[in-house]
Structure 1
Amino acid sequence: MSSADIGARSEERPEQGTGEHGHFGRGAAVAAERPGSRRARNVLHVLGSREFALFWSGQAISQTGTWMQQFAQGWVVTTLAASALALASVNFAASIPMLILMPFGGVTADRMERRRILLVTQSVMAVLAVLLGVLIQAHRLRLWHVWLIALLLGLATAYDLPAYQSFYPQLVETEDLPQAIALNQATFHGSRIIGPAIASWFVALWGMAAAFFANSASFLAVIGSLLLIKPRSATAASPVGTRQFMAEGVRYIRERQNILALFGLTAITTIFVFPNAAVLMPFYAKHVLHVGPTGLGWIMAVSGVGALLGATCLLVLPRSVRIGWIMSALVLVTVPLSALGWSRHLPLSVTAAAILSFGVSSSLGVASIMVQESVSDAFRGRVMSLYALAFTGVMPFAALAVARLADVIGMRRELLFAAAAYAICGMLLMPMLRRTNRETQPDAAQHLAERDST
């Protein structure tokens, strides 16, 4: 999350090559799907890379711990304050430093050794999880403690996320990149199944603090994997200043309409779907369905199953059907989001949450693959930091607005409104995405032809 020329200007097309030794572009993605490609025959070939397998396994353990804490923290906050706004405010506190510092995190990821950045940020996150656990164990936790720790966590994430998203492509060959992204997505969402289930067990046996201590311990797995991966030099030193370096990344994106359209898809999902599906789900379980932690655990775990299935589909999804898949996913998000607004029974809500997660996971997974395939490694940190801002930059304001709306008109009405707004915005975005996707196909063929001729 390759050596490249950082001084390359944004008007240049992404070059192509292998994931470990050069740039890659859309031509490499087409190569991955050629019938004669050895790697295309085995979607799990990516695990043959020792370093990627180490990093992936460490992440799998760490992400399970993260979902354990997510489960426990949501319940702790709803206990401290019976308001949807309280849950959103914690997310807001974490997102503010990301909104401000994420572009600088992207610049840092393109200028410094990404593995070293991750070692620092993962260590900081482990310490913060311990701190929350200690406060809970001592019965001294207050809402302002959660806000402060969320703020510090957001600070670490602002540098962690761009480094992560630009580091793991360095561990695989170019043609294995779609499978690497899909496998990471599947692991992330698979941990949503395991994490809440383990957390509820830990909480029942040892109390709420146990989930936070377990999360802290889980960071040791990813830190250990990073220590076993050989260091890589930074992409290159740049003679330009930070502002100009950052501006090159912005210009690079603005000149690529396909990336802009994918940014838009992520943004509307962040505004209308994620606040309901993630941030406000504990409030929904407790104050709309009137169920306890067990009911919330079922919703989160089964939605994790849906997300896992959506991500797993990406392992075998042909490039030619990606746009159609995104269009279908719009329906798979709109309908269950509306169903959550109408539902009065836990089984129906659990089913709707699973379908919703499948749609979100598969559509954003395809978007992530398309963005990663379209960008040169020299710009990867900056582009992925700005892509992450389509989520983190929008999320705090969206979560506060949606939470406030839910408090004013009720969460059921708010869910129905969100479903309608998402569907309308999605239909407006699709023509742009389809048009720009057709325009990039000749580029892909040209890159492939150029590579084969060399």
Structure 2
Amino acid sequence: MSTSAATAPPTTAGTLWTPFTYSLFRAIWLASVVSNIGTWMQNVAGVWLVTMLTTSALVVALMQTATSLPAFLLSMPAGAMADLIDRRRLLLFTQGFMAVVAFLLGTLTLMDQISALGVLAFTFLLGIGGAINAPVWQTVTTELVPRPILPFAITLNGVSNNIARAVGPAVGGVIIAYYSPGWVFVLNGLSFLGTFVVVYSWRRSEETASGPAENFTGALRAGLRYVQYSPAIYAVLFRTFAFAFGASAMWGLLSVVVARKLGLSSGTYGVLLSWLGAGAVTGALLMGRAGHLLNFNQRVLLGTLVFVGTNLCLGLVTVVYWLYPVMFVSGIAWLMVMTSFSTTVQLHVPKWVQARVVSMYMLVFQAGLSLGSIVWGELADHTSLEVALLATAGWMLLSMLLAIPFPMRSGEGLDLSPAEHWPDPTVQGGPIDPDDGPVVVMIEYEVAAADLQAFRQAAARLTRLRLRDGSLRAGVYTDVANPSRITEFFYVATWGEHQRQHHRFTREDQAVEAQVRQFHTGPAGPRVTHFLAFPKMPNVEAPTPLETLDGQQ
């Protein structure tokens, strides 16, 4: 199979179907459809089996906990691993691990040697595999298609999930009814095995290390720091949480609306979910044809407005037939909003930190869904179902105001490839240990008095980039005796971390740096100086006592 998207046929104007022209994406997408169907079959079979094995409602309810808890515990560590470890090998591990777990569960079930607690334990293990697998599976798409085609590929990934949501429970229910839940677990194991084979055939290009390797803890900190100093990313996270918190009411209360308000059976509930899935697939087709008419920010606003109407209809409509088109339109809105969030995140993040940021996005999304389900469920219990749904509609209407302080920015034209333009500093006295530090870098500029205000604004953007890429402190200082002489500084914990800064700087960042340097008026370029703490000096930010310094002289 092709090793990269660069070897695939060239494209000029992308459509929804363009990603399928890349053979590796096509194979992995088909494998993901099969695997996702197996996962939904597994969910149905697992809950049904536990229901048959115990009379405890708590144990049945813990099935959802066993599925979701690993995502809360492992999402961010999994993102760090996906950035530090070869993604192909990590996918092979997770798919193989989940296949073994599913086969063992299926075998024990067919032999009548499984208990309700045993199903819970195996479900938790599958949840661990899924939590580790999810960030790398999300980010691997960027390696399969060129950047201009990425929005279409992410949309198709959403289609894969919704096809599985529509097909998996139905197929699983038929197998349970006529055979045994054990066979569902075995088929799920086979679906993981199929994905393993496809990923194994991917001959991914070996990546050369750039700079000293990150350790696990440092990688986690770097991911959090990147989000903290990236307005485009935390804007998406705020909007994602607000949307998921409100949209959770539809997912959490739909079954209650069907059973208690309308007095209908679970079959009607399944039909409504099918309309939702059909709407999502239709939404993908519409996005492929007319997606260029709306930017990501407008898509999220439109989708949120649709969900305002969805919750109003669920709270007020008393005839189920009116809810079918409501669910269909809601499916379109759901896919439109979720693909907009996911695409915006991935288009704004360079490869070195991609999985970590995606894992944080997934964690925020799951937190919004989980917390929202609790809040709206409690409100429905203490007031009424209608009040809870109307309150949710009000929340989503207010959440649209977040577009003012947190607008979603287009990232399609960004060049996030490494700039690799900083020369290594001249080092006297032999190589420096990567763990030595701290390091202070100072850059001196001469700026005309008339340009000081414009320079200050440009330098503020550059300071944010220094902090985002690893600096603990950064700033710009003016010489009080000569205001035209300005020094930029940034403080880094170790020499190795500063070397990583060199490789994290992108071509987009280089453009920001160029805006700052254009104000320099000196005969030569800005003077760059690197300062390293004396060996064996305390590597702390607190002032060192004078007597300690005297003792070292």
CA distance in 1: counterparts of 2:25 and 2:227, whole angstroms: 28
Aligned to 1:113: 86
The residue type paired with residue 164 of structure 1 is: W
Within-5 A mapping of 1:117-266: 117-130=90-103, 133=106, 144-233=117-206, 236=209, 238-266=212-240
The residue type paired with residue 206 of structure 1 is: Y
Aligned residues: 413
SS in 2 for 1:314: helix
Aligned to 1:437: 409
Aligned to 2:488: none
Within-5 A mapping of 1:409-428: 409-425=383-399, 427-428=400-401
- Cα distance, 1:362 vs. partner? 0.8
Contact 1:266–1:391 (CA<8 Å) still a contact in 2? yes
- Cα distance, 1:404 vs. partner? 4.1
- Cα distance, 1:134 vs. partner? 5.6
Contact 1:263–1:387 (CA<8 Å) still a contact in 2? yes
Which segments of 5 or more consecutive residues in structure 2 lack a partner in the other structure? Answer: 417-506, 512-553
Within-5 A mapping of 1:3-18: none
- Cα distance, 1:368 vs. partner? 0.9
* TM-score normalised over the length of structure 1: 0.78
CA distance in 1: counterparts of 2:102 and 2:383, whole angstroms: 35
Contact 1:325–1:363 (CA<8 Å) still a contact in 2? yes
CA distance in 1: counterparts of 2:264 and 2:327, whole angstroms: 15
The residue type paired with residue 409 of structure 2 is: N
Instruction: Encode CA deviations 1:74-117: one digit per residue, 9 max, x unaligned.
Output: 5667776797x877643333333322222111111111111121
| 2:309 is the alignment partner of 1:335 | yes
* TM-score normalised over the length of structure 2: 0.65
Contact 2:249–2:392 (CA<8 Å) still a contact in 1? no
Instruction: Encode CA deviations 1:2-37: one digit per residue, 9 max, x unaligned.
Output: x9xxxxxxxxxxxxxx9669xxxxxxxxxxxxxxx9
SS in 2 for 1:229: coil
The residue type paired with residue 437 of structure 1 is: R
- Cα distance, 1:142 vs. partner? 6.1
CA distance in 1: counterparts of 2:415 and 2:405, whole angstroms: 18
Range with bigger deviation, 108-117 or 400-409: 400-409
Contact 1:93–1:147 (CA<8 Å) still a contact in 2? yes
- Cα distance, 1:384 vs. partner? 0.8
| 2:343 is the alignment partner of 1:369 | yes
| 2:42 is the alignment partner of 1:52 | no
CA distance in 2: counterparts of 1:145 and 1:281, whole angstroms: 30
Aligned to 1:308: 281
SS in 1 for 2:127: helix
CA distance in 1: counterparts of 2:59 and 2:390, whole angstroms: 22
Contact 2:148–2:412 (CA<8 Å) still a contact in 1? no
> In the superposition, relative to structure 1, how do residues 322 and 70 fare at CA in structure 2: closer, same or farther (>3 Å)?
same
> In the superposition, relative to structure 1, how do residues 255 and 315 fare at CA in structure 2: closer, same or farther (>3 Å)?
farther
> In the superposition, relative to structure 1, how do residues 93 and 269 fare at CA in structure 2: closer, same or farther (>3 Å)?
farther
Instruction: Encode CA deviations 1:328-347: one digit per residue, 9 max, x unaligned.
Output: 11111121122223344443
SS in 1 for 2:206: coil
Contact 1:267–1:391 (CA<8 Å) still a contact in 2? yes
The residue type paired with residue 267 of structure 1 is: F
- Cα distance, 1:222 vs. partner? 1.3
Aligned to 2:74: 101
Contact 2:98–2:189 (CA<8 Å) still a contact in 1? yes
CA distance in 2: counterparts of 1:20 and 1:87, whole angstroms: 48
Choose between structure 1 and 2: higher strand proportion: 2
- Higher Cα Rg, which structure: 2
Q: Which has the higher contact order (CA 8 A, sep 6+)?
A: 1
- Cα distance, 1:409 vs. partner? 4.0
Contact 2:307–2:330 (CA<8 Å) still a contact in 1? yes
Range with bigger deviation, 365-374 or 136-145: 136-145
Range with bigger deviation, 286-295 or 324-333: 286-295
Instruction: Encode CA deviations 1:243-276: one digit per residue, 9 max, x unaligned.
Output: 2222222222222222212112221233232364
Which segments of 5 or more consecutive residues in structure 1 lack a partner in the other structure? Answer: 4-17, 22-36
Aligned to 2:357: 383
| 2:272 is the alignment partner of 1:299 | yes
CA distance in 1: counterparts of 2:193 and 2:413, whole angstroms: 45
Contact 1:88–1:396 (CA<8 Å) still a contact in 2? no
Contact 2:247–2:369 (CA<8 Å) still a contact in 1? no
Aligned to 1:29: none
CA distance in 1: counterparts of 2:95 and 2:278, whole angstroms: 26
Within-5 A mapping of 1:344-355: 344-355=318-329
Contact 1:337–1:352 (CA<8 Å) still a contact in 2? no
Range with bigger deviation, 71-80 or 384-393: 71-80
Choose between structure 1 and 2: higher helix proportion: 1
**Of 36, 40, 43, which aligns to 1:70?**
43
Range with bigger deviation, 103-112 or 164-173: 164-173
- Cα distance, 1:383 vs. partner? 0.9
CA distance in 1: counterparts of 2:240 and 2:44, whole angstroms: 24
